[in-house]
């Protein structure tokens, strides 16, 4: 069995990885086609995007005969551009609204909560997957200031969930499913950025609440399979995995660190600004726009298209604009005269305008009811700002080439590479808004392969983090979790200075170990919707015997009817004799004492156990009782209970005072408490942030 299980793990993870890779390639291809459709069409075949249409023709813009703009007249082209944007956004928003509400938004916050143990039925279902996959290209093509990387993680997790559900071992075990989801999220980032190791780091730094080497290895494998699949499908026909991959030939100089620090500060300020105002927009949206999600998305797309048309960096796709901004000037990097010294000040204005405008659009667009990520928009903003700074530094150098600061340049006119500033700006903005560090370094590194730019990237992110910590913000994913009130424990440890007894639930739905008949249990199940029941000895002291999950109880009640002759009056027992136990433990080869032998095992085996323990007189429920739930004493400080939840990952912790059950805490109880306690104090630069 061990061998089969091991093989199955490999198989499931690779299958998940491959499906994610295929799906990502399809989304990329459709997105590229739809984006170009706003500008024109290909006469060789309507299904070709501009790049493929002009495949044989080298070198560019005007020389491609098969590609036709919709019109030559400017107002007509502009109108068609806006009309397409409106159509795309309407289709997407309407589809999301009418068929799969969960497909809206980025999804990262929710998946964090799901990985932390929160159950959201249907969030990873087929409907969500399908609608998100087809609306995502529409949204990106509509020109809204949202990205596809966050949703791509959500889609990947849907794939992971759907594929793994086909296998009994995963569908019945929450823990195993979470491992697959963590691996899927790694693969999602891996295909979104063409960065397999970045994906693994993302799953460690952002997603997983419990870190283990095994999970890391699964993420590694899943990300590898997804990337290899994507690379084999080669959606851009360029060998590149993402549109904005670049390579740098030139090195940086120590004096540039001053400017890198400016980029870092920008990243920190940008992150704090967006998080703050996006939350206010979200509050406004919830209050006033709840019933007009489609109209909201359409109007946003329209405004973005109307205004964006007039800026050369906002008219085109964000990934495309990034690939332009990142490039060195040599070797075809001179898009729209961006490298011309004569035009440098108009270019700076244009970039500044794009930066400011895009920030505004991101603040209002992120969170509207279509699939929408914030990774790429943030990077695009950072890139425009960075390029602007780069051009300015270059201008400074040209103005004072002999100044002591530029001494190392030795009159080499290529001393400053504005493209690298764009690149570092993108890293700073991404890190500022998500509060990720190592992940961002690895992703940026995997986008360029520029060995020499690791240190500058790290320096920039260091400053970004320092600024962010000083302003006291956390990442947007965490803020959204808090805003939506999801049950999720922050990873920072707070000191609350209260014992757990202050927080615990004292009125419990307990079940005595014996003396109940099926009718009683059915009644109790109907009367409450708690997720599980503590089992107590039927003595006065209410000694704790174990804990049974509601789902397990439900399951065995239903299944047992097929095997046993059960009436409503059949007594049930949660206790076992030694002889009962030995009967069952011959069936299962894993620790009987650890939990109930039948907790979380697969269908076949549990049916076998039901058959083994079946008798006419009583229904044996004890194999499904977890006999050693995690218990703590009522005086244990809340902080430690939180750490137990975070590090051990139980659904519930029981509070036992000298042997008798006195209460119970779940993550929800803790959060209810902390939400009130938290607002009191949040000091900037507090030590735990470091």
Name which of 514, 510, 622 is nearest 560 in CA terms. 622
Please list every residue from 42 through 61 that binds a copy of itself, using CB under 8 A: none
Paired tokens of 413: 């006119």
Instruction: Give least dist CB 598 to a copy of itself, A.
Output: 16
Residue 216 near a copy of itself by CB under 8 A: yes
Please list every residue from 217 through 236 that binds a copy of itself, using CB under 8 A: 217-218, 220-221, 224, 227-228, 231-232
What is the DSSP secondary-structure string of 165-225? HTSHHHHT-HHHHHHHHHHHHHHHHHHHHT-HHHHHHHIIIII-SS--HHHHHHHHHHHHH
Residue 586 near a copy of itself by CB under 8 A: no
Write the binding mask 628 to 657 for a copy of itself: x where contact by CB under 8 A, - elsewhere. Answer: x-xxxx-xxx-xx--xx--xx-------xx
Instruction: Give least dist CB 294 to a copy of itself, A.
Output: 39
Cα Rg, the chain, nearest whole Å: 29
Give the long-range contacts of residues 175-179, CB within 8 A, separation 24 or more: 175/600, 175/649, 178/114, 178/115, 178/117, 179/214, 179/215, 179/218
Q: Which of 55, 98, 214, 234 binds a copy of itself (CB under 8 A)?
A: 214
Judge contact between 297 and 289, C-beta under 8 A.
Answer: no
Judge contact between 504 and 669, C-beta under 8 A.
Answer: yes
Residue 593 near a copy of itself by CB under 8 A: yes
Does the CA dihedral 675-677-683-688 come out positive or negative?
negative
Instruction: Give least dist CB 333 to a copy of itself, A.
Output: 18
Alpha-carbon dihedral 309, 312, 315, 316, rounded to 10 degrees: 160
Instruction: Give least dist CB 239 to a copy of itself, A.
Output: 7
Start-end of H helices in 366-417: 375-399
Tell me the site size for a copy of itself, rule CB under 8 A.
Answer: 86
Judge contact between 182 and 219, C-beta under 8 A.
Answer: yes
Instruction: Give least dist CB 510 to a copy of itself, A.
Output: 17
Instruction: Give least dist CB 348 to a copy of itself, A.
Output: 30
Residue 10 near a copy of itself by CB under 8 A: yes
Q: Which of 45, 449, 472, 515 binds a copy of itself (CB under 8 A)?
A: 449
Residue 627 near a copy of itself by CB under 8 A: yes
Instruction: Give least dist CB 2 to a copy of itself, A.
Output: 5
Q: Which of 58, 60, 72, 254 binds a copy of itself (CB under 8 A)?
A: 254
Instruction: Give least dist CB 618 to a copy of itself, A.
Output: 24
Cβ proximity to a copy of itself: between 27 and 661 the closer is: 661
What is the C-alpha to C-alpha distance for residues 384 and 306, in angstroms, rounded to an integer?
Answer: 20
SS3 state of residue 423: helix
Q: Which of 207, 372, 441, 652 binds a copy of itself (CB under 8 A)?
A: 441
Paired tokens of 462: 């260091």
Cβ proximity to a copy of itself: between 308 and 475 the closer is: 475
Please list every residue from 466 through 505 that binds a copy of itself, using CB under 8 A: 491, 495-499
Residue 689 near a copy of itself by CB under 8 A: yes
User: Given 3-state DSSP classes, what are the helix, strand and coil percentages for the chain, each rounded to the nearest 5?
Assistant: 60, 5, 30
Please list every residue from 194 through 213 that binds a copy of itself, using CB under 8 A: 196-197, 200, 204-205, 210-213
Cβ proximity to a copy of itself: between 360 and 650 the closer is: 650
Judge contact between 38 and 141, C-beta under 8 A.
Answer: yes
């Amino acid at each position: 069995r061990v061998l089969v299980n091991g093989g199955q793990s490999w198989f499931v993870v690779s299958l998940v990885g491959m499906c994610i890779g295929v799906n990502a390639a399809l989304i990329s291809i459709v997105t590229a086609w739809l984006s170009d459709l706003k500008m024109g069409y290909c006469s060789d075949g309507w299904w070709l995007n501009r790049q493929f249409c002009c495949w044989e023709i080298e070198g560019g813009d005007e020389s491609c005969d098969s590609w036709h703009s919709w019109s030559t007249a400017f107002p007509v082209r502009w109108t068609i551009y806006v009309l397409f944007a409106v159509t795309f956004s309407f289709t997407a928003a309407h589809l999301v609204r009418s068929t799969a509400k969960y497909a809206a938004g980025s999804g990262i916050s929710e998946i964090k909560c799901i990985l932390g143990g929160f159950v959201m039925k249907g969030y990873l279902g087929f409907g969500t997957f399908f609608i998100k996959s087809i609306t995502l290209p529409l949204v990106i093509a509509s020109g809204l200031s949202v990205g596809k990387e966050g949703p791509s993680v959500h889609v990947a997790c849907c794939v992971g969930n759907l594929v793994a559900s086909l296998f009994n071992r995963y569908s019945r075990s929450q823990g195993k499913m979470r491992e697959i989801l963590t691996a899927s999220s790694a693969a999602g980032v891996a295909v979104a950025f063409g960065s397999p190791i970045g994906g693994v780091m993302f799953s460690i730094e952002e997603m997983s609440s419990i870190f283990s080497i095994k999970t890391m290895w699964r993420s590694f494998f899943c990300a590898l399979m997804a990337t290899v699949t994507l690379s084999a499908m080669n959606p851009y026909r360029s060998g590149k995995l993402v549109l904005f991959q670049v390579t740098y030939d030139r090195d940086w100089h120590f004096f540039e660190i001053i400017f890198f620090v400016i980029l870092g500060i920008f990243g920190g300020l940008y992150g704090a600004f967006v998080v703050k105002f996006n939350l206010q927009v979200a509050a406004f949206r919830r209050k006033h726009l709840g019933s007009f999600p489609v109209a909201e998305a359409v109007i946003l797309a329209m405004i973005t298209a109307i205004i964006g048309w007039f800026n050369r960096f906002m008219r085109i796709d964000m990934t495309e604009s990034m690939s332009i901004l990142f490039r060195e000037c040599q070797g075809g990097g001179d898009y729209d005269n961006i490298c011309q010294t004569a035009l440098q000040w108009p270019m700076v204005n244009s970039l500044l305008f794009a930066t400011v405008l895009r920030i505004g659009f991101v603040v209002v667009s992120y969170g509207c009811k279509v699939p929408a990520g914030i990774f790429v928009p943030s990077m695009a903003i950072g890139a425009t700002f960075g390029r602007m700074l780069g051009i300015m530094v270059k201008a400074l150098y040209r103005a004072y080439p002999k100044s002591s600061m530029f001494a190392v340049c030795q009159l080499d006119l290529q001393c400053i590479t504005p493209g690298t500033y764009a690149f570092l700006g993108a890293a700073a903005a991404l890190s500022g808004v998500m509060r990720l560090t190592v992940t961002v370094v690895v992703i940026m590194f995997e986008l360029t392969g520029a060995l020499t730019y690791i240190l500058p990237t790290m320096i920039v992110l260091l400053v970004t983090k320092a600024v962010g910590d000083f302003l006291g913000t956390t990442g947007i994913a965490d803020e959204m979790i808090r805003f939506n009130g999801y049950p999720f424990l922050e990873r920072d440890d707070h000191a609350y200075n209260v014992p757990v007894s202050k927080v615990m639930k004292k009125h419990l739905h307990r079940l005595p170990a014996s003396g109940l008949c099926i009718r009683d249990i059915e009644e109790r199940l109907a009367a409450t919707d708690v997720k599980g029941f503590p089992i107590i000895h039927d003595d006065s002291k209410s000694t704790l015997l174990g804990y049974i999950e509601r789902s397990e109880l439900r399951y065995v009640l239903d299944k047992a009817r097929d095997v046993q002759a059960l009436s409503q009056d059949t007594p049930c027992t949660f206790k076992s004799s030694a002889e009962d136990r030995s009967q069952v433990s011959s069936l299962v080869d894993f620790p009987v004492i650890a939990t109930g032998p039948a907790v979380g095992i697969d269908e076949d085996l549990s049916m076998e156990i039901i058959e083994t323990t079946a008798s006419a007189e009583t229904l044996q429920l004890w194999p499904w009782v977890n006999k050693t739930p995690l218990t703590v004493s009522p005086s244990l400080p809340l902080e430690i209970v939180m750490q137990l939840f975070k590090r051990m990952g139980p659904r519930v912790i029981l509070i036992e005072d000298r042997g008798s059950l006195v209460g119970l805490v779940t993550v929800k109880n803790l959060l209810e408490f902390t939400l009130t306690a938290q607002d009191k104090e949040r000091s900037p630069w507090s030590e735990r942030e470091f």
